Structure 1
């Protein structure tokens, strides 16, 4: 007799890390609503995704915005894989309060 598959902390860390990979942030946000840890990282991933999408509006700052987003994504992936909550500077406190 097999036991039902459960999502352990390790699986949650990998799914949370996926939140920081461009459009893939939508998967954890939409389909893993059962985990506060995953939702925390998914909301931050969506914020980075939106910032990257809107960066061409500010043509002069576009390269800088992209570099900052890539660095923030790398730091977010690392934090998620370590099982830690890491808040994005400047916007992280607003993202925590957001209801998606």
Structure 2
């Protein structure tokens, strides 16, 4: 059933003109028929745009998730590597409790620069003190060698790279400080645990009873 768009009068199916106002009904119906596909086309276009937006959002979400996972994997890998470096031999069980208790101070002095000479010569009969003296000697040598190498590099490289060398010197200084603190912590805790990276070198002969 159709109605005249002009006056609203009901129009018979076969009528071409409105019986009330005389407006051409066919023209209105054709215009309406043409408008419907446009509306449908617009709806499809909107639906397509919405789908593309959702797809793009999903892609961005997946990309963000992958990047987050990669970051987590890197942190996990770095953490595992750090644990591996810190997992050094612990020979505390090889020393008597009496030796450890009586020579903790000597063991601490082993990590304070030149004072390493105190346990070397003043606690010759203490295997525990000698162990830490050996670690202290390794630390002093590592500090000296790295400092000398960086100083030589500083004079060799172009002036534009001197800032990088200075940064490396700072990092080495931080590393030496960290190893010193770690060694003192082991001494205070009564542990005979090697320093990371440098503790395995046997430069100073130690004796154990």
Distance in 2 of aligned mates of 1:84 and 1:77: 10
Does residue 99 in structure 1 map to residue 205 in structure 2? yes
Which consecutive residues of structure 1, in runs of 5 or more, have no partner in the other structure? 1-6
Provide closer, same or farther for how the CA distance between residues 90 and 8 of structure 1 changes in structure 2, counting only shifts above 3 A: closer
Does residue 71 in structure 1 map to residue 178 in structure 2? yes
Does residue 22 in structure 1 map to residue 113 in structure 2? yes
Q: Equivalent residue for 2:92? A: none
Q: Which residue of the other structure, out of 181, 189, 196, is the alignment partner of 1:89?
A: 196
Does residue 13 in structure 1 map to residue 104 in structure 2? yes
Provide closer, same or farther for how the CA distance between residues 75 and 90 of structure 1 changes in structure 2, counting only shifts above 3 A: same
Task: Report how many aligned residue pairs link the two structures.
Answer: 93
Provide closer, same or farther for how the CA distance between residues 30 and 62 of structure 1 changes in structure 2, counting only shifts above 3 A: farther
Q: Which residue of the other structure, out of 140, 145, 148, is the alignment partner of 1:49?
A: 140
RMSD over aligned Cα, in angstroms?
2.1
Q: Is the 8 A contact 1:25 1:42 kept in 2?
A: yes
Largest Rg, 1 or 2: 2
Q: Which residue of the other structure, out of 58, 70, 78, is the alignment partner of 2:150?
A: 58
Q: Is the 8 A contact 1:48 1:69 kept in 2?
A: yes
Which consecutive residues of structure 2, in runs of 5 or more, have no partner in the other structure? 1-97, 152-164
Q: Is the 8 A contact 2:182 2:195 kept in 1?
A: no
Q: Which stretch has the larger CA shift, 37-46 or 50-59? A: 50-59
State the TM-score, normalized to the length of structure 1. 0.78
List per-residue Cα deviations over 1:20-44 (Å, max 9, x = no partner).
0111111111221101110110011
List per-residue Cα deviations over 1:11-66 (Å, max 9, x = no partner).
30111011001111111112211011101100111111122223143142322222
The list of structure 1 runs, each at least 4 consecutive aligned residues, that deviate by more than 4 angstroms after superposition, is none
